[in-house]
Structure 1
């Protein structure tokens, strides 16, 4: 094999292996549901805020764990609901970014404490698969608004 063919083969293989997993790859049971256990839309709370994640119809597994009917939690904070806004299509296809508005709990955590400034904040829970990608039928909570005093 000449060096040109080797180079093209290497570049092609590298590009193929760099393609991220796509949505629609990981199924979720039709009855799966994620929700806030201790917070409701319109609640007034103090900071730090403890958030307890509820999940029915699926199990929790750390990111990177390939096991049917499992996922791990993410909180979308102060941004549009999953699939909406400027990054909506990308997050459904390529996964959730990690930043101040996309909080990952890849260790399999089922609760978190958030230090939030005073004011109104929106929260939505999203279950991600082993690669932080929402399931084929995304498992998401309603968006709630809380007020921090």
Structure 2
């Protein structure tokens, strides 16, 4: 049965330490261009099925709830290709392409363009894993390879998953409107459910660490959280991040806490922003 998949979206995470929303998947404009250039013939009918190596295959891997003693969203899905080259979208090369995850929908007929929407997730940066934000319940996930112009290939793999619940985060302290003097320590006390806090380094299902964001918006799901003065990482797995008020300019600041996985790929778990004031 098809499920509601309209949580906060599904954005690809990158396997490197540098990412941006623009490479977190294929944009809709890319998909539209492909429909014009890559998937139909002059009469508007589906193009011939692109050929793939006979020994090529793909596989999708998401731990089951039984393996984890409960599976909670957001979750990380892993992709693998055998005898097939995984590369960024753009050029069409023989025996090469990129991954797509289809959620609670039929696979795309080979030769047709893969849509770009909440049920058809493009991993056009060549990623081999992605952060998925699913509604609790049963879902059917299909991994399908597409070529450089997002034309569907016959390489697919399907896995059914049951999501038991969702990660949650709130902020118990500081309170909105709190004032701190230069030299004070600002202690953040997030309340987290269904996510294990652990040190950065490895991608573990249902686990991650805190980041404090200052005067900036939450990072898109799956995108690597930058390391700078506005994005403070707490990769030691602490439950209560601390920030020295002296490190902030005097005045008002909007702050929030966001959780990311072991390689800093953002989860859609972010507290509502609060305003604090630093004074001399």
With normalisation by structure 2, the TM-score equals 0.40
Gap change, CA 1:51 and 1:103, over 3 Å in 2: same
- Name 1:69's counterpart in structure 2: 95
- Name 2:147's counterpart in structure 1: 129
- Name 1:78's counterpart in structure 2: 104
Alignment of 1:74-113 (within 5 A): 74-80=100-106, 82-83=107-108, 91-113=109-131
Given that 1:42 and 1:147 are in contact with CA atoms closer than 8 Å, whether structure 2 keeps it comes out as no
Deviates more, 1:123-132 or 1:60-69: 60-69
Counterparts of 2:162 and 2:58, CA distance in 1? 21
Higher relative contact order (CA 8 A, sep 6+): 1
Gap change, CA 1:93 and 1:39, over 3 Å in 2: same
Given that 2:103 and 2:142 are in contact with CA atoms closer than 8 Å, whether structure 1 keeps it comes out as yes
Counterpart selection for 2:159 from 135, 144, 147: 144
Deviates more, 1:22-31 or 1:92-101: 22-31
Which of the pair is proportionally richer in helix?
1
> Is 2:52 the counterpart of 1:36?
no
What's the secondary structure of 1:62's corresponding residue? coil
Gap change, CA 1:134 and 1:40, over 3 Å in 2: farther
Counterparts of 1:30 and 1:40, CA distance in 2? 30
What's the secondary structure of 1:140's corresponding residue? strand
Given that 1:42 and 1:144 are in contact with CA atoms closer than 8 Å, whether structure 2 keeps it comes out as no
- Larger Rg, first or second structure (1 or 2): 2
Counterparts of 1:96 and 1:41, CA distance in 2? 29
For structure 2, the 5+ residue unaligned runs are 1-35, 41-46, 165-280
Counterparts of 2:50 and 2:110, CA distance in 1? 12
What's the secondary structure of 2:116's corresponding residue? coil
For structure 1, the 5+ residue unaligned runs are 1-17, 84-90
- Give the alignment's Cα RMSD to 1 decimal: 2.3
Q: CA deviation at 1:20?
A: 3.7
With normalisation by structure 1, the TM-score equals 0.71
